[in-house]
Chains A and B, each alone.
Chain A
Amino acid sequence: MEKGFTSLDHELKAEHLKAGYDKTVIIEDMSLVIPDHKITVIIGSNGCGKSTLLKTFARLIPPMGGKVLLDGKEYAAMPSRKLAQIIGLLPQSPLVPEGIKVSDLIARGRYPYQEVFRGMTKEDYAAVDEAMDMMGVAEFADRNVDELSGGQRQRVWIAMALAQETDILFLDEPTTYLDITYQVEILDLLTDLNRKKKTTIVMVLHDINLSARYADYLFALRKGKLAAQGTPDEIVCRELIQDVFRLDSYVTRDPVSDSPFIVPMGKYHSGVRGKKNASRGIP
């Protein structure tokens, strides 16, 4: 038996969503449904609105028009702490309070469950212990967060989001600034989380190939509009990459995962492929 909580079913969707900052509209009239209990990745070039979409779903910015509906209700109509028990976010660069210990930082994820002047309960401690176990940071429990490496620190932040025990978790570029080793490690841990807890995971990633490998479902954005959605196998193709990233590419299969694999074409070096493939008899 898996200990702790398992994510509940929810329906999270955007209806004719218009979103942006101040008076700048970035997303116009977007409707989509977040697949429940799946790993979804939002891809697109810089400024396409993927961060804006994520932030609107994570309720950091209110919609300018249209609606974001959780189980049929708008966020504004739900108590803030109740909502914090359902939807969590790992921002791109959260701040580490000076001198804080790993377990204390993770324990802050328990805020939505706590009452004024009442300390941590048994459940709170258990949730933090479990989150540390799952992210493999228990051995650092009493260390300073500022002493950890980038990859370890990111695991601590995910553990904090995990201690929040939300059914849906948004992550804003969780692998940026990390070495490739830690990128894979973080994505593996998020997959663990999705498989063990059924947590719905929605994230923005920059690496298309890792996105295609780890995502169950993709939203591809271009200039504030939804260019395509579907499983990586359904939508990732040369035309999509051309359309979304304005990049000429060659799409093959990932030799490890057999998911679609993009090899970009640039101005130089493009002759090699033709020659090599010809010599190997590949058309």
Chain B
Amino acid sequence: MKADTGKTGITEAGSRNRKKRELRILAFMFGIWCIAAVFLLLYGDQVYSPGTVLRVLLGEEIRGAGYAVWTIRLPRVLVGTLAGFSFGIAGNTFQKILRNALASPDVMGITSGASAAAVFAMMVLGLSGLIVSFMALAGGVTVAAVILLISQQKEFSVNKMILTGIGIQAMLQAVINFIILKTSDYNIADALRWLSGSLNGVRMRDLSLFGFIVILCTAVILAYERELQILGLGEELPVTLGVNVKGSRRFLIYSAVILCAGTTAVTGPLSSVAFMSGHLAGRILKTGGTGTVHAGLIGALLVLISEAVGQFAFSTRYPVGVITGIIGAPYLICLLAGLNRKNG
């Protein structure tokens, strides 16, 4: 009989408790997101009262406020949220599959691939609009495919994959710099967006296709949630537990790549968001779960808060990508120091 130890039900109780805790954390993060979003809607060149913003959102036409909210602030909040969410999930997925905090698409050159393709399309080919976004997406996917191809020679190796990615990242960064320097008569402000990332100039019409891509890829990643968990156990157990390793790894990686490259096409690279979100999510959750949605929300928070800081904290306005980059660099150093301590 099952009652012989008094220990039965312990697994279910434990996992239910942890699930509840995960949900509480999620609710808390959502709370902070709401505050950040409301702040970014109210504040700007002009400060509007919550009532005014609410009336505008409900469709009332108010001179000045209507334009500021619908054309500038709301798209900024929504695109910023989607971008952070998408980078967060993409980074987290990479880190979980490859079991390494450094293995994030921004460290491994996938965002650079998208950026380089976009810069090339705009400045060398003179293109603009949707085709640029499409080329950015293609650039990201191409880099991912090249990295996968190289790292799958002989036996698949995570370290080989990360190092290949870092190499490609450095190379592409040089390409981006080269193109921008060579075509410096072009609008530098626009070009800088592809270097660091910015929410300036995003519009409501950017949302529908972008939102669709983010939702679709997130759904695929969530459907592979259990495989993502098992892939964290090493190279051997996933095989003997019956996971289709190659297939699920490919689905997960390409979904993350499309998220990442697609977002880069809209906002630019927003450096370090992908890399920080997954790691932070793991630190906060401490359950060994995948924390996909948590990482997404943390990404969204990072972007909105950095945007607020970039807009209002200094006398000059900085694009959000500069702020996330400034936060990301010391974060990376601390992480590396921590890793060294663990290994040493």
Contact = CB atoms under 8 A, between A and B. Distances in A.
A101 B233 CA distance: 14
Contact of A128 (B11, B239, B241, B244): B11
Contacts of B288: 96-101, 104-105, 145
Nearest to A58: B240
A88 B240 contact: yes
Interface residues of A, number: 50
A95 B99 contact: yes
A85 B8 CA distance: 23
B10 A129 contact: yes
B311 to A, nearest CB: 35
A101 B230 contact: no
B285 A97 contact: no
Interface string B223-249: 100100110111011011111100000
Contacts of A111: 226, 230, 241-243
**Most A C-beta atoms less than 10 A away, residue of B9, B241, B243, B289:** B241
A94 to B, nearest CB: 5
B14 interface: yes
B288 to A, nearest CB: 2
A108 interface: yes
A59 B282 contact: no
A70 interface: no
Given A98-B288, A133-B5, A89 B15 contact: no
B18 interface: yes
B10 A81 contact: no
Interface stretch (A7-15, A113-121, A239-247): A113-121
B99 A81 contact: no
B241 A112 contact: yes
Contacts of B223: 116-117
Contact of A138 (B7, B12, B99): B7
B289 A91 contact: no
Contact of B1 (A3, A83, A164): A3
A132 B240 contact: no
A73 to B, nearest CB: 16
A105 B282 CA distance: 16
Nearest to B229: A108
B154 interface: yes
Nearest to B10: A141
B286 interface: yes
A142 B242 contact: no
Question: Main SS of the interface on chain A?
Answer: mixed
Given A83-B242, A98-B288, A112-B242, A22 B154 contact: yes
Interface residues of B toward A: which range? 35 or more
A44 interface: no
Nearest to A81: B242
B233 A107 contact: no
Interface in A174-210: none
Contacts of A142: 10, 14, 17
A60 B155 CA distance: 12
A87 B240 contact: yes
Interface in A131-153: 132-133, 138, 141-142, 144-145
A262 to B, nearest CB: 31
A203 B154 CA distance: 27
A145 to B, nearest CB: 8
Interface string B151-194: 00011000000000000000000000000000000000000000
Nearest to B6: A138
A97 B233 contact: yes
Contacts of A128: 11
A93 interface: yes
Which of A81, A87, A89, A99 gathers the greatest number of chain B CB atoms within 10 Å?
Answer: A99
B63 interface: no
Contacts of B15: 103-104, 107, 120
Contacts of B226: 111, 114, 116
A22 B225 CA distance: 32
B10 A80 contact: no
Given A83-B242, A104-B18, A98 B282 contact: yes
Contact of B282 (A81, A88, A99): A99
Interface string A158-172: 000000100000000
Contacts of B229: 97, 108
B12 A125 contact: yes
A95 B232 contact: yes
A126 interface: yes
Nearest to B234: A95
A142 B8 CA distance: 13
The 10 A-B residue pairs whose C-beta atoms are closest, nearest first, are A100-B288, A84-B242, A81-B242, A91-B236, A89-B240, A97-B288, A95-B234, A99-B286, A138-B7, A128-B11
Given A22-B155, A94-B237, A96-B288, 20 more contacts: A21-B155, A22-B154, A81-B242, A91-B236, A94-B233, A95-B233, A97-B232, A97-B288, A101-B287, A104-B15, A104-B287, A104-B289, A106-B11, A112-B242, A117-B223, A120-B11, A125-B9, A125-B11, A128-B11, A132-B7
15 contacts: A3-B1, A58-B240, A84-B241, A88-B240, A93-B234, A97-B288, A100-B287, A100-B288, A116-B226, A117-B223, A128-B11, A132-B10, A133-B5, A133-B7, A164-B241
Interface of A: 3, 21-22, 58-60, 80-85, 87-89, 91, 93-101, 103-109, 111-112, 114, 116-117, 120, 125-126, 128-129, 132-133, 138, 141-142, 144-145, 164
